[in-house]
Structures are given as C-alpha cells and as structure tokens.
Amino acid sequence: MTITISTKNISLDDSLRVFIEDKIGGLDHLIGNGDGQARVEIGKPSEHHRSGDVFSAEVNLVLGGKLLRATCTHEDLRNAITDVKDELQVQIKKFKEKRTDLSRQPKE
C-alpha cells in the first residue's frame, strides 16, 4: 500500500510519520495484495479554538476502484489517527464482505 501524508497548520516530524505509517500501514493485512493507495491528511482545522487544540485526521483509501473515507477530530492527534484507523478497518471489512456476497449470488 502506498501512503501519502499531508499536513495542515502543523509540522510533520519523523516520529509522527512513523506512527502514521505503522497505524495505516497495519491495515495492509486486511487488504491482502497491497494494492491500495492511502492519502492521509492530518492537522488543525483552524488556529484559534476557545477549547484548546483540536486535531483532525482524514484518510482516503482507494481500494478496488472504490473510495473508502474516514475522518475524526480529537484533542490528541495520535488518538485521532487511531480512531480513523479503527473506522477504516470496519469499512474495509464491510467492503470485502460485500464483494464476497456478490460473488456468491446465483447467476441468472
């Protein structure tokens, strides 16, 4: 799986890059053949919040011609990335089950 990381209103350091590649790259075992392309965008939606820092994470995964998209906002960036990974994991499982169910249907 190829992972492209972009940031908004924050800087990307090596430890954060490794964390993202571990979390999102860990979904590769669900995809199977490694034929996915993931575009990850992390950052702050705006610079001035009254309640403190709010971080967002968004992943767009192209898998078999379909686009799977997951977003999350959280007060901690690493928790937002983990929540996005969990949401995307559910979507991938649902997508794969749908594909197997369609192939099992009788042909007319």
Q: What residues does each domain of the chain span? A: 2-104
Give the separation between CA 89 and CA 79, rounded to whole angstroms.
Answer: 15
pLDDT digits over 29-59, tens only?
Answer: 888 776 789 999 999 887 766 667 889 999 9
CATH number belonging to domain 2-104: 3.30.160.100
pTM: 0.84
With the CA atoms of 24, 89, 43 and 78 taken in that order, what torsion angle do they form, in degrees rounded to the nearest 10? -70
Q: How far is CA 108 from CA 74, 98, 102, 105, in A?
A: 49, 19, 13, 9
Give the separation between CA 66 and CA 57, rounded to whole angstroms.
Answer: 20
Report which residue type is found at 21.
E
User: 99, 97, 89: which is closest to 28 by C-alpha?
Assistant: 89
Q: What pLDDT does 102 receive?
A: 66
